Amino acid sequence: MITGTVKTPRGELEYFTFGEGRIPFVILPGLGAKPIVLSAPAIKAAYSCFAKDFTVYVIDRKKALEPDCTLESIADDTAGAMRALGIENACVFGASMGGMIAQHLAIKYPGLVRALALGSTAARVQPGMLTLGEDWLRLAEAHDRDTLLRSTIDNLYSETTKRLYGEAMLRMFDEVTDSDLDRFCIQMRAIMGLNTYDRLDSIACPAFVVGVEGDRVVTGEASDELADALCCDQYMYGAEFGHCVFDEAPDYKERLLNFFVGIMR
């Protein structure tokens, strides 16, 4: 595995890469308080099934995010990083906020995206998503770390995961700083401006939407709407999983792999 920083005209982005396949596979992660490279070993293990046929790139947000950045401008940052790394015509998977960025990437930079998988995400803000987002933004702005983290864990994960790993997940975030929370706020404000719905018809590449019934964050209806608008295949997990079904369901990565490998044939 290689971990590094890629420099672009728009700024610097951290990334890591692994795998030895000829096909580039780009993962755009969801909203988080800490840099994604801190989770590199766990992500590499989770997506090990891709390592043979793909070279996997996990690209974080820009180090110095503008306070008024948008999902589209973050997609511009991502496109710059991909070009600097020599990535084009890639399979792209975006989870949650990463899926929102991935939509903008596919719309604006079609030459960079060969196929698109969107997990637990939406094309526009849903009412429940707005309420929860405003609550998280308020807590982060107040630097109320503990309440924010408990709320995110409660809404992101299934009851089984919370029972087994909830307290351990809280301890993982002991080192979240006020600066991390400020960065969280910037990204949360960008999410609140989400609206790609009227532009989805410009996405020409094959797409696959994966959602979960009863998603407390983006709602299951948002996944249905996204799949309908893209006229693409969809898979919905049951209510036994949470918003972070991409971390919980044991067959999730296999479903993604089957989609992308099928496109390559």
Query: How far is the C-alpha of 194 from the C-alpha of 101, rounded, in Å?
Result: 9
CA–CA dist 26, 54 (Å, integer):
10
Domain encompassing residue 29? 2-127+195-264
> What's the CATH code of the domain at 205?
3.40.50.1820
With a CB cutoff of 8 Å and minimum separation 6, the contacts of 150 are 170
Measure CA of the first residue to CA of the last residue in the chain; give whole Å: 27
- pLDDT for res 20: 92
Instruction: Identify whether the C-beta of residue 194 lies closer than 8 Å to the C-beta of residue 100.
Output: yes
| Residue owning tokens 């590499």 | 44
Q: Is residue 54 part of a domain?
A: yes
Alpha helices in 32-84 (DSSP H): 40-46, 71-84
In the chain, the percentage of residues whose pLDDT exceeds 70 is 100
Strand partners, 56: 18, 25
Please check whether residue 209 lies inside any domain of the structure.
yes
The predicted structure's pLDDT at residue 173: 77
The per-residue pLDDT for 113 is: 98
Residue 118 domain-assigned? yes
Cα–Cα distance for residue pair 214/238, rounded to 1 Å:
8
Q: What angle (nearest 5°) sits at the alpha carbon of residue 153, between those of residues 12 and 26?
A: 35
pLDDT at 49 over 80: yes
Structure confidence at residue 167 (pLDDT): 84
Count of structural domains within the chain: 1
The continuous run of DSSP H or E covering 108 comes out as helix 97-108
31 domain residue, yes or no? yes
Whether 88 is covered by a domain: the verdict is yes
Are the C-beta atoms of residues 241 and 196 closer than 8 Å to each other? no
pLDDT at residue number 76: 98
Give the whole-angstrom CA distance, residue 213 versus residue 201. Answer: 25
Q: When comparing pLDDT for 103 and 127, which is higher?
A: 103
Band of the pLDDT at 127, cuts 50, 70, 90? Answer: confident
Question: Does pLDDT of 169 surpass 90?
Answer: no
Instruction: Quote the pLDDT of residue 263.
Output: 87
- Residue 144 in any domain: the answer is no
The predicted-structure confidence for 63-110, as pLDDT tens digits, reads as follows: 999 999 999 999 999 999 999 999 999 999 999 999 999 999 999 999
pTM beyond 0.85: the answer is yes
Q: Which residues contact 250 (CB under 8 A, 6 or more apart)?
A: none
**Model pLDDT, residue 33:** 82
Which residue type is seen at 12? E
Q: Please indicate, yes or no, if residue 170 is contained in any of the structural domains.
A: no
- Helix, strand, coil in percent for the chain, rounding step 5: 50, 20, 30
Q: pLDDT band for position 147 (50/70/90)?
A: very high
Query: Is 134 within a domain?
Result: no
